[in-house]
Amino acid sequence: MKWWGWIVGCAIVALAGAGVYFAYAANENRDTAERWQTRAGRLERTVTTRTRQLNTRTDALNRTAAALKRSEADVRILERRQRELANEKAQVEDDRGALAIQAGTLAALADGQRQCTDGLTQLLNRFAAEDSAWIAANAGTVEAACDDAAAKFAAFQTQYGG
């Protein structure tokens, strides 16, 4: 029976040692689990915060992308309008050049018409003064000035309408 007492005593000591070990291991597991839960909570809060930040930045990028698309559309509209304005400017410059030519031609016509009118006025004054020598000497010049003015006016009307 001594044997048997020793075996039971060893078994009780072994069971008590196992109980202490398991109690210690359970306590360590509980502490480790609590640390992991605390860490998981921190990580979850960090992930949540970063997700919110990412969503905010994504929204800002989407707004910026939409604004960029609108800006690109505006640029295309402005480029088209710029081409239209350049074409209109070229047409206006062409018209201005044509008007400058017409103005120069009209100035020459007015000058010719003035010479004709001045000559006719002098011719009438000399006719009234009965200065037939002056009339005979200058009638051809006055007639040539009036013919030249009439020819230039007819050419102007043909070229520009009128």
- The three-point CA angle 82-88-94 to 5° equals 140
Q: Would you kindly state where each structural domain of the chain is located, as residue ranges?
A: 2-160
Q: What pLDDT is attached to residue 106? A: 87
Side-chain half-sphere exposure of 68, counting CA atoms within 13 A: 6
- pLDDT at position 101: 86
pLDDT at 98 over 70: yes
Neighbours of 143 (CB within 10 A): 14
Q: What share of the chain is helix, strand, coil (3-state, %, to 5)?
A: 95, 0, 5
Q: How far apart are CA 150 and CA 154, in angstroms?
A: 6
Average pLDDT over residues 123-137: 91
**Count of positions (residues) in the chain:** 162
Q: Which two tokens stand for residue 155?
A: 């050419």
pLDDT band at 6 (very low <50, low <70, confident <90, very high): confident
